[in-house]
Amino acid sequence: MTNNTWSTDRYDTVADAIAKLYVKALKDMPPDVRDALTKAEQRETVKMGRTVLSTIQQNIAVADQQNLLICQDTGTPVYFIEVGERSGVNPVQLERAIRHGTVQATVTHPLRSSVVSPITRINNQNNTGYRVPVIHWEFVPDRDDVQVVIVPKGSGSENMTYFRMLLPADGVQGIKRFVLDSVVGSGGNPCPPVIVGVGIGGSSDLCMLLAKKAIIRPCGQPNPSPEVAGLENELLEAINASGLGPMGLGGLTTALAVHVEYAATHISQNPVAVNIQCWAARRGRLTVKNDGDITIGF
Category of 121 on φ-ψ map: left (φ > 0), alpha (ψ -120 to 50) or beta: left
Q: Is residue 174 a contact partner of residue 270, using CB atoms and an 8 Å limit? A: yes
pLDDT at 145: 97
Instruction: Assign 285 to helix, strand or coil.
Output: strand
Q: 140 and 14: one domain?
A: yes
Cα distances from 154 to residues 74, 189, 240, in angstroms, run: 7, 11, 23
Q: Is residue 277 a contact partner of residue 191, using CB atoms and an 8 Å limit? A: no
Instruction: Report if residue 83 sits inside a domain.
Output: yes
Q: Is residue 253 a contact partner of residue 246, using CB atoms and an 8 Å limit? A: yes
User: How far is C-alpha 139 from the geometric centre of its chain's CA atoms?
Assistant: 20
Q: 161 and 263: one domain?
A: yes
Q: 101 and 117: one domain?
A: yes
Give mean pLDDT in consecutive 10-residue pieces for the chain, a chain of 298 residues. Answer: 78 98 98 98 97 98 97 97 96 98 97 97 98 98 97 97 98 98 98 98 98 97 98 98 98 98 98 98 97 96
pLDDT at 52: 98
Distance in angstroms (rounded) separating the CA atoms of residues 54 and 50: 6
Instruction: Report if residue 61 sits inside a domain.
Output: no
Q: 211 and 96: one domain?
A: no
Return the CATH number at 120. Answer: 3.30.1330
Distance in angstroms (rounded) separating the CA atoms of residues 295 and 145: 11
Q: 162 and 149: one domain?
A: no
pLDDT at 2: 46
pLDDT at 75: 96
Rg (CA), the chain: 20
Q: Where are the alpha helices (DSSP H) in 109-253?
A: 155-158, 171-186, 204-214, 226-240
Instruction: Report if residue 92 sits inside a domain.
Output: yes
pLDDT at 264: 98
- Domain of residue 99: give its range: 8-26+70-154+282-297
Would you call the peptide bond into 133 cis, given omega within 30 degrees of 0 as the criterion? Answer: yes
Would you call the peptide bond into 118 cis, given omega within 30 degrees of 0 as the criterion? Answer: no
User: How far is C-alpha 66 from the geometric centre of its chain's CA atoms?
Assistant: 24
- Can you give the pTM of this predicted structure? 0.96
Distance in Å from the first CA to the final CA of the chain = 31
β-bridge pairing 194-201 and 255-263: parallel
Q: 19 and 95: one domain?
A: yes
pLDDT at 3: 57
Instruction: Report if residue 116 sits inside a domain.
Output: yes
Q: 170 and 231: one domain?
A: yes
